[in-house]
Amino acid sequence: MRASAGRFEALSGAPTDTLRSLLSDNNATMRPLFGATEERVAAFSYQSAGIAATAEPADLMNFYSVEAPPEKIEALKSDLSKHDLVAGAYVKPGAEPAALLNDMAPSGEEAPPSTPDFTARQGYLETAPAGVEARWAWAQAGGRGNGIRIIDIEGAWRFTHEDLTGNQGGVVGGTMSADIGWRNHGTAVIGEFSGDLNSFGIDGIASDAIVSAISIFGGMGSAGAINAAAARLGAGDVILIELHRPGPRFGFASRNDQRGYIAIEWWPDDFAAIRNAVNRGIIVVEAGGNGAENLDDAIYQSPAPGFPAGWTNPFRRSNRDSGAIVVGAGAPPPGTHGRNHGADRSRLDFSNFGALFDTQGWGREVTTAGYGDLQGGTNEDIWYTDMFSGTSSASPIIVGVAASLQGMARARGRSPLTPAEFRNCLRATGSAQQDEPGRPASQRIGSRPNLRQLSVCAFGKSKELSKELVKEAKEVKESVKELKDTRKEGKEFVKEGKEAKETVKELKDVRKERKEFKEGKEFKEFKEGKEKDKDIFEGRGGIRERLTQPTGFAGEEGDLQGRIAALESAVQELIHFIGAELRPDLSASALGGDASGLASGDEQAKRLKDQKDTEGF
């Protein structure tokens, strides 16, 4: 059957008149449980890209909510169960906060002018195994839950509390209960993961996360509240379900001791709402319940009256898996606040247990906001407790851990952990559950989380990290060596540069000398050098002959130009015995530089001749 625009239609085409008549006769109304129309419901049902393709789909369009006068409910349920268009009709017992005997009365003593710092009493923040390593996480980028959104689902809260002023989104759905028990409970829950970071009161594990709340009252119901929360959140965000309800052990009856109370995913509509949120990549943290029940018991294999025929027990994940993180209540370290509840991390006697459970938190002695037994007075906004208990006190610790880890992932630029990845890391790490007489560790509630180990699980194995560090150290060492080599090469380069500079100077000197030779300034040295080559000249008679001809300097007559030509010819032959680097340029006259000297010698020869002639008169 499908509903659209206020009309009901059977997918088979069968008439719906009889169903309408049945509802009318009982003064009842029926509407889609998860939205005004099935089109709206479908818009909120999708699967995040990071979720495995094998994940069970959540068909929210199969669920309808019927409202009728209380006296007509049972008869109407029976009649609806028999109708051909109805797969199942059941009445859920009322949900209650999963807190055990949290009936602490506020102290009558007025609070001091300024609230003291109670963080030393928050042992769950400390190092493992006593705590979850929250303080270590705070030193990591994103470790306070930066950028993560959390929605708490229960009944009421005190958002005006002095330690809940930052990052609070308030109530965003449903109508808060006026009951102070619900209000104290919600305030205590949020204080554990969202308490302000300041110098007084308490500190939340993920104080930088943005926190809102949705009440199950005002027609919302638990499944509707879960779905409304999922519609507001995205992959990597967190939903906390702080509820449990009476199960089949005592005929679904409400009890003051909460015996027989179980996790709400056992009911088909709650399961579907959780599965839809998980399919969207949202981590759903679910209180496991305070009923002291073994959820592996065969009693949970049988459906409640009116459940659909295809229902299977979700407490056995081999049947079906909601994807939620189910939390048990473990004992704090003995001596906490001067009290003893058994071996540290042992199952508390009221906590449900079984293979379904993924992890545990402190189920006793939790210091947080609300109630007023630690600090009371007349002003509810400054109330604190150090006795908050149950799977209700355990589950918010896991919410803080989840938000812290997701904040780290976000700060690293990584995709958020999927619900399955977070669950797997919780199961693979942590401080192990301990035995206690009558409550052995085989009654599983899981390990207490350790954020250091979770970080390694989520972002890389320790061996791989060590290898990376060693590799980085080697690279740094090599870089230092290269730098030293570079400095050494630099010094050598400077030395070579000086040598090159000196070489250039020498080359310039050589070029200068060559230029001077070209200009004939070294002709004298050349003439002296030719004497050293006497043996060579001896073998070249023609050269010797030409060089020893009269020059006119001895007073004898001769053709000066002819002698010069002969001398140049001799030089041309001499250059065959001179290296190229010292060889003169004879493109002009080799004696060009001495032309004036030769001319002077010619004039002198003439004067000597004239003088001789004169003397002969």
Walking along the chain (617 residues) 10 residues at a time, the average pLDDT comes out as 61 77 92 80 67 71 92 94 93 88 82 96 98 98 98 98 96 97 97 98 98 97 97 98 98 95 98 97 98 99 96 97 98 98 98 99 98 96 97 98 99 97 98 98 99 97 52 62 66 62 66 58 51 50 49 48 60 54 49 47 54 46
Upper half-sphere CA count for residue 86 (Cβ side, 13 Å) = 23
Cα 66 from Cα 355, distance rounded (Å): 34
Count of CB atoms situated within 10 Å of the CB of 340: 14
Q: Are 18 and 386 in contact (CB under 8 A)?
A: no
Count of CB atoms situated within 10 Å of the CB of 179: 13
Which domains are delineated in the chain?
Answer: 1-89 (no CATH), 93-460 (3.40.50.200), 530-616 (no CATH)
Q: Are 375 and 477 in contact (CB under 8 A)?
A: no
Q: What is the pLDDT of residues 571-612, one digit of tens each?
A: 555 555 555 555 555 444 444 444 454 455 555 555 555 554
The residues facing 8 across adjacent strands are 3
Q: What is the pLDDT of residues 365-395, one digit of tens each?
A: 999 999 999 999 999 999 999 999 999 999 9
Q: What is the pLDDT of residues 196-238, one digit of tens each?
A: 999 999 999 999 999 999 999 999 999 999 999 999 999 999 9
Extract the tokens encoding 439: 């409550």
Cα 570 from Cα 206, distance rounded (Å): 106
Extract the tokens encoding 40: 């709206």
How high is the pLDDT of residue 541? 47
Q: Are 30 and 66 in contact (CB under 8 A)?
A: yes
Cα 531 from Cα 534, distance rounded (Å): 5
pTM more than 0.85: no
Cα 284 from Cα 155, distance rounded (Å): 18
CA-based radius of gyration for the chain: 51
Count of CB atoms situated within 10 Å of the CB of 369: 34
Q: What is the pLDDT of residues 41-93, one digit of tens each?
A: 777 666 665 666 566 777 898 899 999 999 999 999 999 999 988 999 999 99
Extract the tokens encoding 538: 């001896």
